């Protein structure tokens, strides 16, 4: 993967999720309720160099501290996020989960005075290297927010197309196809295909969130960061988003911040537990397979937290 | 005292005495005064509407709008002024809207807190600067050097009036655009400039238009900035911004001072016309934003 430039060489394009769909015979309307998906590959397949190239989107974090001015919000995190899997970040309020998440697409830089130490490498490339453009980075590492935030001035169609139009990388003829595929992947197509021209804000909260996911998918990212994506949704909408995450992890690296431990245990393959230290800085207590964290954690702190003794 | 209080009955303490009655009386009279003041705030509009309509309605005719004043003698219309206003005010808007909107974008989206506060403060003060001073200021650098009153200077003076109004209203409407939308756009890998243009400005557009229209209406009615710049003219000047040009407020000002009833009549007619246009813009813009707030 080449982070320095938005233009990807043909080799790099091979096996990219959306193109994979394109390569398949596309018979218009997908079966009801089921998104058209590439043949499923296990999250961390280990089949030869070609498959390894396909499974891009591994994030390696070392010695990462985040500061807001003089205040250290996150302290010395070392964590590897496997590609094509869901990694959940759990922990009590204020332990820097969201801050940590936002360092992975450099969104924290929008806060004046915020800075990081340490390294975040995406497929081996340090995203804090001076020659890495944060704008390009965010096209590779997409984000979904806590509250659904569709653009209120835009239709459903335009919201999904916005990612391409506003990044100036679309060909008119491709737009329809990309919008449809993104909506299909976000499990929203069947609900909106007859009203694409209606405003995005006319949808229900859960639909709006899936619209935002579709929008994030439209620019063809490798990684999707989700900052409590279901916390503003009702239980049924939450379930749909969780099902969607389960589908998406075949093709994307997903990092999800959640304060809902049940959700973490339902959707994730790996779980990282953060908490707040004496110095009010958040730090990583441990990270492991989700099953392990929830049944047999190494650290007492983790056990206390997941058994509801604090937080 | 404490003893006296303790001894007085509960009834006496609750219904009490002269102090309570006096308080009620003061309350009532202050309320009445405040109500009268509130009425006086709204009354001038009604009064102005009434007088200008009463005097001007009869003078308002198609001739007033389409015919220039007679070169010699009395008669004709105010076409010179109508045409002048229709050129200078749009030109002023053409200057002021981009400057005001871009300025607001800088202050709202890019400037540091300190410089934003300074610029905002200056804009607020500029709104309050007497408009005749703005006329004199423009006079010194767009009229004096050329030894010629000209419509361009008039448009610039009007633009100076409009700029702070446009900037402040734009900034306020940008402020109302939720940060979540900026983040949504930036997180898609949209560059900052494109985010501002296609998301922030687009979302804030109704408010920006409102500000621009109100500034437009305000500039239409300005007289003082034009006295030293566009000067006024009895001929219909179409397109020659290097020469004097008339405007409705100037026309009213000049004709109202003539010792001739017919010219005074024309001034009333022009006043009514100006009032009508300004009022329509104001009501339309405010009704729109009012409807939006309800809906």
Domain span at residue A63 reads 56-306
pLDDT above 50: residue A13: no
Q: Would A30 be classed as within a structural domain?
A: no
CATH of the domain at A254: 3.40.50.300
Q: What is the pLDDT of residues B83-132, one digit of tens each?
A: 999 999 999 999 999 999 999 999 999 998 999 999 999 999 999 999 99
Chain B residues lying within 8 Å of A165, measured CB to CB: 198
Architecture of domain B62-294 in CATH? Orthogonal Bundle (1.10)
Q: Would A5 be classed as within a structural domain?
A: no
Q: Which residue of B has its CA nearest to A216?
A: B188
How high does pLDDT run on average in chain A? 84
Nearest to B274 by CA among B219, B221, B213: B221
This complex has an ipTM of 0.80
State whether residue B30 sits within 8 Å of chain A by CB: no
Q: Would A196 be classed as within a structural domain?
A: yes
Q: Which residue of A has its CA nearest to B194?
A: A166
- Going by the DSSP 8-state scheme, the letter that residue A7 receives in this structure is -
C-beta neighbour count of B241 within 10 angstroms: 16
Please tell me the distance in Å from B120's CA to the nearest CA on chain A.
20
Q: Would A1 be classed as within a structural domain?
A: no
Q: Would A23 be classed as within a structural domain?
A: no
In this prediction, residue A54 carries a pLDDT of 54
Q: pTM for this structure?
A: 0.81
State whether residue B185 sits within 8 Å of chain A by CB: yes
Phi–psi pair at A255, nearest 5 degrees: -120, 120
User: Structural domain tally of chain A?
Assistant: 1
User: Which of helix, strand or coil describes residue A100?
Assistant: helix
State whether residue B287 sits within 8 Å of chain A by CB: no
Domain boundaries, chain B: 62-294
Please tell me the distance in Å from B161's CA to the nearest CA on chain A.
31
Q: Would A274 be classed as within a structural domain?
A: yes
Please judge whether B189 and A138 are an interchain contact, meaning their C-beta atoms are less than 8 angstroms apart.
yes
Please judge whether A151 and B199 are an interchain contact, meaning their C-beta atoms are less than 8 angstroms apart.
yes
pLDDT above 70: residue A46: no
In this prediction, residue A139 carries a pLDDT of 93
Please judge whether A105 and B187 are an interchain contact, meaning their C-beta atoms are less than 8 angstroms apart.
yes
pLDDT level of residue B189 (50, 70, 90 thresholds): very high
State whether residue B195 sits within 8 Å of chain A by CB: yes
Q: Which residue of A has its CA nearest to B205?
A: A153
Q: Would A231 be classed as within a structural domain?
A: yes
Higher pLDDT, B11 or A218: A218
Q: Which residue in B189, B192, B207 has the most chain A C-beta atoms within 10 A of its own C-beta, making it the best mutation to test that interface?
A: B189
3-state secondary structure chain B: CHHHHHHCCHHHHHHCCHHHHHHHHHHHHHHHHHHHHHHHHHHHHHHHHHHHHHHHCCCCCHHHHHCCECCCCCCECCHHHHHHHHHHHHHHHHHHHHHHHHHHHHHHHHCCHHHHHHHHHHHHHHHHCCHHHHHHHHHHHHHHHHCCCCHHHHHHHHHHHHHHHHHHHHHHHHHCCCHHHHHHHHHCCCCHHHHHHHHHHHHHHHHHHHHHHHHHHHHHCCCHHHHCCCECCCCCCCCCCCCCECCHHHHHHHHHCCCCHHHHHHHHHHHHHHHHHHHHHHHHHHHHHHHHHHC
Q: Is A43 in contact with A85 (CB distance < 8 Å)?
A: yes
pLDDT level of residue A171 (50, 70, 90 thresholds): confident
Q: Would A35 be classed as within a structural domain?
A: no
Please judge whether A166 and B199 are an interchain contact, meaning their C-beta atoms are less than 8 angstroms apart.
yes
Please judge whether B198 and A162 are an interchain contact, meaning their C-beta atoms are less than 8 angstroms apart.
yes
Q: What is the pLDDT of residues A215-240, one digit of tens each?
A: 999 999 999 999 999 998 999 999 99
State whether residue A270 sits within 8 Å of chain B by CB: no
């Amino acid at each position: 993967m080449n982070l320095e430039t938005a233009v990807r060489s043909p080799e790099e394009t091979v096996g990219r999720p959306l193109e994979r769909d394109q390569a398949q015979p596309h018979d218009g309307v997908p079966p009801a309720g089921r998104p058209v998906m590439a043949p499923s590959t296990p999250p961390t397949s280990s089949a030869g160099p070609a498959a390894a190239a396909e499974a891009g989107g591994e994030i390696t974090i070392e010695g990462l501290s985040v500061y807001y001015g003089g205040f250290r919000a996150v302290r010395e995190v070392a964590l590897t996020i496997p590609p094509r899997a869901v990694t959940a970040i759990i922990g009590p309020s204020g332990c820097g989960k969201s801050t940590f998440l936002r360092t992975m697409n450099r969104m924290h830089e929008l806060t004046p005075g915020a800075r990081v130490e340490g390294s975040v490498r995406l497929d081996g490339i340090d995203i804090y290297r001076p020659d890495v453009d944060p704008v390009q980075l965010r096209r590779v590492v997409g984000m979904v927010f806590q509250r659904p935030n569709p653009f209120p001035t835009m239709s459903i169609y335009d919201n999904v197309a916005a990612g391409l139009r506003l990044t100036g990388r679309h060909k008119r003829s491709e737009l329809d196809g990309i919008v449809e595929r993104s909506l299909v992947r976000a499990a929203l197509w069947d609900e909106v295909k007859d009203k694409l021209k209606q405003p995005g804000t006319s949808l229900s909260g859960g639909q709006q969130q899936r619209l935002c996911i579709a929008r994030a998918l439209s620019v063809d990212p490798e990684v999707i960061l989700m900052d409590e994506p279901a916390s503003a949704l009702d239980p049924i909408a939450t379930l749909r988003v969780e099902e969607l995450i389960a589908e998406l992890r075949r093709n994307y690296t997903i990092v999800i911040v959640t304060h809902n431990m049940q959700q973490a245990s339902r959707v994730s393959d790996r779980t990282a537990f953060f908490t707040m230290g004496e110095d009010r800085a958040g730090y990583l207590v441990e990270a492991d397979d989700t099953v392990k964290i929830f049944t047999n954690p190494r650290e007492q702190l983790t056990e206390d937290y997941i058994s509801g003794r604090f937080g | 005292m404490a003893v006296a209080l303790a001894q007085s009955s509960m009834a006496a303490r609750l219904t009490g005495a002269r102090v309570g009655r006096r308080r009620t009386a003061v309350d009532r009279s202050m309320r009445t005064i405040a109500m009268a003041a509130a009425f006086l705030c709204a009354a001038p509009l009604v009064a102005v509407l009434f007088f200008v309509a009463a005097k001007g309605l009869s003078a308002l005719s198609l001739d007033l709008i389409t015919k220039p004043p007679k070169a010699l003698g009395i008669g004709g219309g105010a076409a010179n002024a109508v045409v002048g206003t229709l050129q200078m005010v749009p030109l002023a808007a053409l200057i002021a809207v981009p400057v005001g909107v871009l300025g607001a974008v800088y202050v709202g989206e890019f400037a540091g807190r300190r410089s934003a506060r300074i610029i905002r403060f200056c804009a607020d003060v500029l709104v309050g600067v007497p408009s005749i001073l703005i006329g004199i200021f423009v006079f010194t650098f767009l009229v004096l050097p050329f030894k010629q009153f000209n419509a361009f200077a008039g448009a610039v003076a009007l633009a100076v009036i409009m700029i702070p109004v446009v900037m402040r209203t734009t900034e306020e409407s940008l402020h109302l655009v939720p940060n979540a939308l900026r983040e949504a756009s930036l997180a898609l890998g949209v560059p900052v400039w494109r985010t501002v243009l296609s998301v922030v400005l687009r979302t804030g557009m109704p408010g920006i238009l409102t500000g621009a229209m109100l500034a437009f209406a305000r500039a239409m009615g300005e007289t003082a900035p034009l006295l030293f710049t566009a000067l006024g003219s009895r001929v219909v000047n179409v397109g020659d911004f290097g020469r004097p040009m008339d405007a409705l407020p100037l026309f009213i000002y000049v004709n109202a001072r003539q010792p001739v009833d017919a010219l005074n009549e024309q001034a009333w007619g022009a006043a009514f016309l100006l009032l009508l246009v300004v009022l329509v813009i104001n009501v339309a813009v405010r009704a729109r934003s009012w409807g939006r707030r309800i809906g």
